Each structure stands twice: as structure tokens, then as C-alpha cells.
């Protein structure tokens, strides 16, 4: 497993360095905080703007999270798999739902909507400067 991780990490860094896209976004399975130092490096050095994760069966936004060096990350695990890791009983429950993302060239607006139709979280992401060198 770790051999695959190392090769995929190198591939990811190569692709981020080569990218000319306006937005640098990674989607992965494991939740925010997993391999935090590596994602922090991608954010600071290669311009990673947003991290989309799953694994945990709940919705959560880590807006400009210090653990990831200011990178915004969200868990979109509010459905599928097991029924729920938390009780969906209250109006602000994040056990089930979806995210609505609105992209423009200047920002990404995230809204977490629960299964009751209530907005339970939001964040705005702006692009980070890229510090890519040919080293």
C-alpha cells in the first residue's frame, strides 16, 4: 500500500506542477487531516486550493484549517455506506446531505445542505499563489 501511496504522491505533485488550470482541487477518500503535512506542502508550494474528502459518514467543512496550513477541506460523507455515524435527529444534523459548489474564476462558494434542506455550513475559497519551481 505504501509503495502505491509514494508513486501516487509523486504523480500528484508532477500533475500539480504541470497544471495551468485556474483551480487546483484534489478529491480523496480519507478525511481532512490524513497526511496533513503533505497536503499542507501541496497548498503552500504547488497551489492546491481545495481538498474534497469522504470516509467519515458526516458532512463537515474545515475552512482555512490551520492543520493544513490554511487549506480549506470538506468531508462529503453524508450518505451511502453505513447509515450514519451521528444521529440525524436535530434540524442542524450533518448526518446526511450534500454540498453545493458555485465556481467562478475568483472564488468557490461551498454550502453544506442537510437532508432537511437546511444550510448547515458554508465557506468561500479563493485561489492561492503557486510557488512552483523547476528544481
82 against 121, higher pLDDT: 121
Are residues 41 and 48 in contact, defined by beta-carbon separation less than 8 angstroms?
Answer: no
How far from chain centre, in Å, is Cα 30? 10
Measured distance CA(126)–CA(97) in Å, rounded: 24
Q: What percent of the chain has pLDDT over 70?
A: 89
Hey, what's the torsion of the CAs at 97, 63, 36, 5, to 10 degrees? 40
Measured distance CA(94)–CA(77) in Å, rounded: 9
pLDDT in tens, 52-80: 998 877 888 999 999 999 999 999 876 66
Cα distances (angstroms) measured from residue 54 to each of 20, 34, 36, 98:
26, 11, 15, 12
**Cell 500539480 belongs to residue:** 16
- Identify the structural domains of the chain with CATH numbers, from first to last: 2-125 (3.60.21.10)
Query: Is 135 a residue whose pLDDT tops 50?
Result: no
Cα distances (angstroms) measured from residue 34 to each of 31, 54, 102:
6, 11, 26
State phi, psi for 134 to the nearest 5 degrees: -85, 10
Please count the other Cβ atoms lying within 10 Å of the Cβ belonging to residue 111.
15
17: confidence class by pLDDT, cuts 50, 70, 90 = very high
pLDDT in tens, 77-113: 766 666 666 666 778 887 788 899 999 999 999 999 9
Q: What percent of the chain has pLDDT over 90?
A: 60
Amino acid at each position: 500500500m505504501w509503495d502505491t501511496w509514494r508513486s501516487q504522491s509523486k504523480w500528484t505533485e508532477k500533475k500539480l506542477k504541470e497544471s495551468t488550470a485556474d483551480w487546483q482541487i484534489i478529491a480523496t477518500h480519507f478525511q481532512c487531516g490524513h497526511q496533513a503535512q503533505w497536503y499542507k506542502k501541496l497548498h503552500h508550494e504547488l497551489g492546491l486550493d481545495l481538498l474534497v474528502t469522504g470516509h467519515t459518514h458526516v458532512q463537515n467543512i474545515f475552512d482555512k484549517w490551520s492543520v493544513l496550513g490554511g487549506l480549506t477541506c470538506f468531508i462529503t460523507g453524508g450518505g451511502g455506506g453505513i447509515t450514519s455515524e451521528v444521529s440525524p435527529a436535530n434540524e442542524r444534523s450533518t448526518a446526511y446531505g450534500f454540498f453545493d459548489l458555485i465556481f467562478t474564476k475568483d472564488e468557490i462558494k461551498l454550502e453544506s445542505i442537510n437532508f432537511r434542506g437546511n444550510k448547515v455550513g458554508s465557506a468561500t475559497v479563493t485561489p492561492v499563489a503557486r510557488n512552483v519551481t523547476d528544481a
